[in-house]
Amino acid sequence: MSKAATADHASDDNYLTNTKGIMSWIVTLDHKRIGLMYLIGVMVSFAIGGTLALILRAHLYNPQGSFLSNDAYNQVFTLHGAVMIFLFIIPSIPAALGNFLVPVMLGAKDVAFPRLNLSSFYLWCAGAVFFLFALCTTGLDTGWTFYTPYSTTTSTSVIAATTGVFILGFSSIFTGLNFIVTVNTMRPPGMTWFKMPLFLWAIYSTAVIQVLATPVLGITLLLLICERLMHIGIFDPAFNGDPVAFQHFFWFYSHPAVYIMILPAFGVISELMSVHSHKSIFGYRFIALSSIAIALLSFLVWGHHMFTSGMSEITTIIFSALTFTVSVPSAIKVFNWLATMYKGSISLTTPMCYALAFMFLFTIGGLTGLFLGTLTTDLHLHDTYFVVSHFHYVMMGGTLVAFLGGLFHWWPKMTGKMFNETWGRISAAIVFIGFNLTFLPQFVLGSRGMPRRYASYDPEFTGLHRMSTVGAFTLGFGLLVALIVLLHSLYRGKKAPRNPWGGATLEWRCSSPPPYYNFERPPVVGNPYYFGDLEYDAKSDDYVFTEPDREVVPQKLEPAPQHVDSKKDA
């Protein structure tokens, strides 16, 4: 009835083996190698940030704190936050997974500007060096937000760290610029905007924010450095500056930046939900356009971080109302993912387990944002553990879990190796349990008045804090299991087939791992969410694209049927 349209190629040459030696990596222009180098970079950063987090939680096991001085505690939470945000979560999905996937999903050979791409990776490395420098010298204790006037007066390494963030900002802008041009100009014939995989829509909307918002942060930090060095009197009240102006500038970037963190995760989840439910995505256009809507709306709501900073009443009301509008497109996505799963044929693979965990965790994170966006409740909850829990649910439960799901999903494509499914699923379960054990108690702590960024607490909070600490170590253990599963696959994993999950986007049409130029011939562009022509082939444990049998030789045409007079028949 149907036959395999694509045969396996005998050649084993792929992007990992086509050239050898360390130099072939250091100066590579191949987006896949750059993506892989980013992947290693962000995972190392995550390990550093994660270790700092475990130190914090271990310290908080006892009400008086366990082993850190108050100053050391401030430095550890600041570096934890700054490393996680600037070095890990912002580049995680776009720069690591995005670099690998964007050109392949477009059927292109590379991104539009391969050299800019490599330079953005080295800028990331340079920024990381400044952070390490801050870590190893006097540390940093301003919080990742660098709020003035404290940041203009503290004796810690504010200048090194802000210079690092400034450089990282350029790295982020270059990546965004590259993706915008790539998606605009390199789509293959036939791939109209609304035939693009949703991951590309998400990366595109993210890139718009990266390019428009990041310069604001760059300038703000530059002004902060000038303030510290020359006392120009812009943020420091001692020199007639306005510290609240810093908060406005900072959040004008950093609220859109939370969408730099979450939009790519939405993109990953859209792919995962559809592929592992083996069902066309529900509400394609709504998901695609809601990414753009979020990107634009995200510029209008920064004031919700500053309800208690003394803005006028009317301003706070406007910011509160605008904040609620952002939740509409986010809810649209969650609804469409649910509808995609409904009546799908769900495979509980490791990526899908992570995607399901994302659904729970992100929904809790998003809904608790509403309490913070409501003026009356935020006055009570601001700067408490409730906020800490809220943003961990969206950033860690959302973005990190989606990143892991995406990593497991595309791992066979990136490395050519399959991982152990059982242990992969176990890792997802431990992460899910550990995560909730860590952060659910923090909602309760926050609503009962436990302030954030404190090195000690009242004895009445001991039980909940201890739950959270035990949860954090469980979570860390789950992540370690996930890492071991992935590393183990490199040595012991089965060879990955071309299309292990049955995806219909273009990356599944090239071999695993892809060859240097991705495709030998330009691939056929179809509907990225149409699974009707995919068939599971048990022999190769692979999904193959099939084509209905078409007659190549036209048959002799039958004479056109005569019109029959129905009355005559009767």
Q: Which does 369 bind (CB under 5 to 8 A by kind): ligand HEM, Cu ion, none?
A: ligand HEM
Q: Which does 378 bind (CB under 5 to 8 A by kind): ligand HEM, Cu ion, none?
A: ligand HEM
Is 378 among the residues that bind ligand HEM (CB under 6 A)? yes
| Interaction pattern, residues 216-255, with ligand HEM; x per rule: CB under 6 A | ----------------------------------------
Nearer to Cu ion, 253 or 284 (CB): 253
Nearer to Cu ion, 16 or 294 (CB): 294
Tell me the closest approach of the beta carbon of residue 362 to ligand HEM, in angstroms: 7
Is 476 among the residues that bind ligand HEM (CB under 6 A)? no
> What are the residues whose beta carbons fall under 8 Å from the beta carbon of 137, sequence distance 6 or more?
157, 160
Identified binder of ligand HEM from the candidate list 90, 200, 216, 258, rule CB under 6 A: 258
| CB-based burial, 155-179: b 16+ in 10 Å, e otherwise | ebbbbbbbbbbbbbbbbbbbbbbbb
Tell me the closest approach of the beta carbon of residue 319 to ligand HEM, in angstroms: 9
Nearer to ligand HEM, 112 or 306 (CB): 306
Cα 562 to chain centroid, rounded: 63
> What are the residues whose beta carbons fall under 8 Å from the beta carbon of 286, sequence distance 6 or more?
332, 333, 336
Identified binder of ligand HEM from the candidate list 241, 366, 441, 471, rule CB under 6 A: 366
> Taking the CA of residue 251 as centre, how many other CA atoms within 13 Å lie in the half-sphere pointing to its CB?
15
Tell me the closest approach of the beta carbon of residue 400 to ligand HEM, in angstroms: 11
Identified binder of ligand HEM from the candidate list 327, 377, 527, 546, rule CB under 6 A: 327
Nearer to Cu ion, 255 or 390 (CB): 255
Is the four-CA dihedral 218, 223, 226, 227 of positive or negative sign?
A: negative
How far is Cα 186 from Cα 103, in angstroms, rounded to an integer? 8
Identified binder of ligand HEM from the candidate list 369, 405, 412, 513, rule CB under 6 A: 369
Q: Are 119 and 174 in contact (CB under 8 A)?
A: yes
Is 425 among the residues that bind ligand HEM (CB under 6 A)? no
Q: Which does 330 bind (CB under 5 to 8 A by kind): Cu ion, ligand HEM, none?
A: ligand HEM
Tell me the closest approach of the beta carbon of residue 303 to ligand HEM, in angstroms: 9
Strands ordered across the beta sheet of 542-548: 2-4, 542-548, 534-537
Nearer to Cu ion, 18 or 315 (CB): 315
How far is Cα 192 from Cα 269, in angstroms, rounded to an integer? 22
**Which residue's beta carbon is nearest to the bound ligand HEM?**
369
Is 112 among the residues that bind ligand HEM (CB under 6 A)? no
SS3 assignment, position 441: helix
Distances (CA, A) of 259 to 29, 101, 114, 139: 28, 20, 25, 28
- Specify the stretch interacting with ligand HEM by CB under 6 A; choose among 27-35, 371-379, 496-504, 513-521: 371-379
Binding site for Cu ion (CB under 5 A): 255
How far is Cα 157 from Cα 235, in angstroms, rounded to an integer? 18
Tell me the closest approach of the beta carbon of residue 347 to ligand HEM, in angstroms: 27
Q: Specify the amino acid at residue 335.
A: F
How far is Cα 206 from Cα 333, in angstroms, rounded to an integer? 16
Q: Are 175 and 117 in contact (CB under 8 A)?
A: yes
Tell me the closest approach of the beta carbon of residue 264 to ligand HEM, in angstroms: 11
Is the four-CA dihedral 157, 159, 165, 171 of positive or negative sign?
A: negative
| Interaction pattern, residues 388-417, with ligand HEM; x per rule: CB under 6 A | --xx--xx----------------------
How far is Cα 502 from Cα 542, in angstroms, rounded to an integer? 8
- Specify the stretch interacting with ligand HEM by CB under 6 A; choose among 15-23, 116-124, 280-288, 386-394: 386-394
SS3 assignment, position 428: helix
How far is Cα 558 from Cα 561, in angstroms, rounded to an integer? 8
**Which residue's beta carbon is nearest to the bound Cu ion?**
255
> What are the residues whose beta carbons fall under 8 Å from the beta carbon of 312, sequence distance 6 or more?
none
Q: Please give the residues from 304 up to 323 whose contact with ligand HEM meets the rule CB under 6 A.
A: 304-305, 323
Radius of gyration, CA atoms only, the chain? 26
Q: Specify the amino acid at residue 438.
A: T
Is 326 among the residues that bind ligand HEM (CB under 6 A)? yes
Nearer to ligand HEM, 198 or 372 (CB): 372
The contact set with ligand HEM (CB under 6 A) reads 145, 258, 261-262, 304-305, 323-324, 326-327, 330, 366, 369-370, 372-373, 378, 382, 387, 390-391, 394-395
